[in-house]
Structure 1
Amino acid sequence: MPFVPALVIVDVQEDFCPPNGSLAVTDGRSIVPLLNTLLSYPFPLKIATKDFHPRNHISFASNHPPPNNKAFESVITITNPLNPGESQETRLWPVHCVKDTPGSELVPELHVDKVHEIVEKGMDQRVEMYSAFADPFKQPCVSRSGLAKMLHDKGVTDVFVAGLAADYCVRYTALDAAKEGFKTRVVEEATKAVDPASMDEVLREYAEAGVEVIGKDDASIERVRHYAYPGQV
């Protein structure tokens, strides 16, 4: 069977990491050494993603009137701007990862020099976009990042997902990778959740979608470690 693996590191940015991130995930910074280990392996394609929001993004609680504008608590309904008949509910968040601000930067200890491509997402202020592939609307989709084309153009068969946060952007990126036809694995120790109690639901969704949760010493990781590019001796 062909095996062309890609690594997708999701949103390991200052605003998602302690000590100063506006939406810091508990222990978020602690996964960086393992991410750097993964980046040292010979994946033919290594991608890092970034939330890269405008200041008027719809997910920011401060962009909504009271009383339904409490970060982490309030839930709003977003209507597809291209189809009023399609809508979704989403949680509101503190202002985070505003484009071209320090909070949007990948953390400096991440070995970004080993990354082949950086994919920015969440740039359309009208829609939420947890997945690094696209927003969740289907009829039609409003915003695509180009990640799917990047992976398909490289002939990728297997996608390994890590980063932040396990219950949001990692979750939806992995689910969309599976929908795109890639054999998808989430490296468990290389991600942290906003709400660890929600992970049972996430794991159920993974099981239904065929997404595999693996450990850092899984046989598939060992296969990557010994990966040889076509024609490589």
Structure 2
Amino acid sequence: MASKTALIVVDMQNDFCLPEGTLYVKDALDTLPLVNQLLNSNAFAYKVATKDWHPQDHVSFASNHPEPNNKPFESFIEMSNLVADKPHEKMQQRLWPNHCIQGTKGAELVSDLDVSKVDLIVEKGSDARVEMYSAFSDSFGNLTAGKGGVNHDLAQVLKEKGIVDVYCVGIAGDYCLSASALDAAKAGFTTYVIEEGQRCVDPGAWPDVKNKFLAGKVELISERSEQVQRLLAS
């Protein structure tokens, strides 16, 4: 198993995980014991942690837009595809409180996360003009490694490492975790999400997320499953 399997720990950062964080996800730290158990497992050949890594002027920050359309969580703006020949492609972007700003305490991984076991840290969302929930691509499906959006082409790295299977945990289940898992499957990896290893911004959105997993060929599994117990025992 170890020669083919990777773990992706998504956005276990202070702004998401701590009650004083600017975009706190309720009970996020409850996932930490399981996440650290997985990080300490020998079942994974490669272990990745991701981070939101936003500039102060990021398009998703409500503070960067004029009133009255700048209410965090509530307001939406129209966002354009950055690819030169696709500016006609638009999508609605939810606005958020300022979070995970580069170089701030809020952007740091939580102190109790066992980062000593992490092989690669992927910093994403650093292009101010576009949202990037997924560690693999921006919200339009573009990879911008080396151009400001993300510091590593994660799909390429995993393929170079011989990875076939990917297990995902982290924050938030209804945004960055689900986007990363769906993109991992799209990139050709057999992808699993461990349900107890995530928490959502909106817990009520989880049934819809599960439907997206089903459509996107992402398998949702339980910590209690024999499959995960084998990983934890390795």
User: Which category of TM-score, normalised to the shorter sequence, fits these structures?
Assistant: over 0.9
Residue in 2 that maps onto 1:57: 58
Distance of aligned partners of 1:130 and 1:221 in 2 relative to their CA distance in 1, 3 Å threshold: same
Counterpart Cα distance in 1 of 2:201 and 2:184: 21
TM-score (norm 1): 0.92
3-state SS in 2 of match to 1:78: strand
Give me the CA root mean square deviation. Answer: 1.7
For residues 76-155 of structure 1, the aligned pairs below 5 Å read 76-82=77-83, 83-138=86-141, 141-142=143-144, 143=149, 145-155=152-162
1:168 aligns with 2:169: no
Distance of aligned partners of 1:220 and 1:4 in 2 relative to their CA distance in 1, 3 Å threshold: farther
Per the TM alignment, residue 81 of structure 1 is displaced from its structure 2 partner at its CA by 2.6
Q: Deviations over 1:155-187 (max 9, x none)?
A: 111100000000000010010000001110001
Per the TM alignment, residue 2 of structure 1 is displaced from its structure 2 partner at its CA by 9.8
Per the TM alignment, residue 136 of structure 1 is displaced from its structure 2 partner at its CA by 2.2
Structure 1 stretch displaced more, 65-74 or 216-225? 216-225
Give structure 1 stretches of 5+ with no counterpart: 228-233
Residue in 2 that maps onto 1:73: 74
Structure 1 stretch displaced more, 65-74 or 79-88? 79-88
Structure 1 stretch displaced more, 45-54 or 2-11? 2-11
1:134 maps to amino acid = S
Q: Could you tell me whether the CA contact under 8 Å between 1:57 and 1:124 is conserved in 2?
A: yes
Structure 1 stretch displaced more, 211-220 or 47-56? 211-220
Residue in 2 that maps onto 1:45: 46
Counterpart Cα distance in 2 of 1:10 and 1:203: 17
1:51 maps to amino acid = D
Counterpart Cα distance in 1 of 2:137 and 2:93: 15
Distance of aligned partners of 1:3 and 1:117 in 2 relative to their CA distance in 1, 3 Å threshold: closer
Give structure 2 stretches of 5+ with no counterpart: none
Q: Deviations over 1:122-170 (max 9, x none)?
A: 00000000001110224x5554541111111111111000000000000
Counterpart Cα distance in 2 of 1:159 and 1:141: 19
Counterpart Cα distance in 2 of 1:131 and 1:222: 27
Residue in 2 that maps onto 1:230: none
Structure 1 stretch displaced more, 97-106 or 76-85? 76-85
Counterpart Cα distance in 1 of 2:89 and 2:10: 27
Q: Deviations over 1:99-131 (max 9, x none)?
A: 111000000001111111111000000000000
Matched-pair identity in %: 48
Residue in 1 that maps onto 2:7: 7
Counterpart Cα distance in 1 of 2:157 and 2:127: 20
Residue in 2 that maps onto 1:216: 223
Q: Could you tell me whether the CA contact under 8 Å between 1:2 and 1:157 is conserved in 2?
A: no
**Which of the numbers 205, 210, 214 marks the counterpart of 1:207?**
214
Counterpart Cα distance in 2 of 1:217 and 1:116: 26
TM-score (norm 2): 0.92
Q: Could you tell me whether the CA contact under 8 Å between 2:169 and 2:193 is conserved in 1?
A: yes
Per the TM alignment, residue 221 of structure 1 is displaced from its structure 2 partner at its CA by 2.4
Q: Deviations over 1:51-103 (max 9, x none)?
A: 00000000000001111000010011101133221111110000000011100
Q: Deviations over 1:1-20 (max 9, x none)?
A: 99611000000000001221
